Amino acid sequence: MSAIDIGQPVPAFEAVATGDKTLRLSDLKGRNVVIYFYPKDSTPGCTTQGQDFRDSMAEFDRAGTTILGVSRDSLRSHENFRSKQGFEFDLISDPDEKLCKLFDVIKLKKMYGRETLGIERSTFLIDRDGVLRQAWRKVRVKGHVADVLEAAKALG
């Protein structure tokens, strides 16, 4: 499946999330949406990235932007991670990789000399009308959330 192109509407999706929710993109119309994909709950880089989004929540909210984190971890793992880190945003469990495939974030990764398929840290900014406005792939955690926040503010 090819990635969604910048300037194109994001196809409708439905996903299970923390807080016993089913999230639909259509329910978020009227707000910008940041969807960030990360490899695994409670690992150093993923924890730092989530904390950076958490610490910028008020500014994202002022920019009319909802934050959603996505990984293949279970809802139980997500609930524990979210609670431990004080995340106010929802985490989506995507064990069947439906959202991961929609956004084309499953990539071949090399770790300890072995190749595995895993989530490539990526972030997507969707505008109030459901159109993809920006994509960051192969994300480096440091400074990333500030870049995303700046882009969200620019959408107005």
Supply the DSSP symbol for 97: -
**Catalytic-role residue among 4, 46, 75, 149:** 46
- Tell me the CA distances in angstroms from 120 to 36, 40, 101, 102, 127, one per residue in order: 10, 11, 11, 13, 22
Task: List the beta bridge partners of residue 66.
Answer: 33
| Nearest by Cα to 41 from 83, 9, 11 | 83
**Residue with structure tokens 């995303």?**
148
46 is catalytic: yes
Residue 128 CB contacts under 8 Å (≥ 6 apart), including other chains: 29, 30, 31, 32, 64, 155
The residues that are catalytic are 46
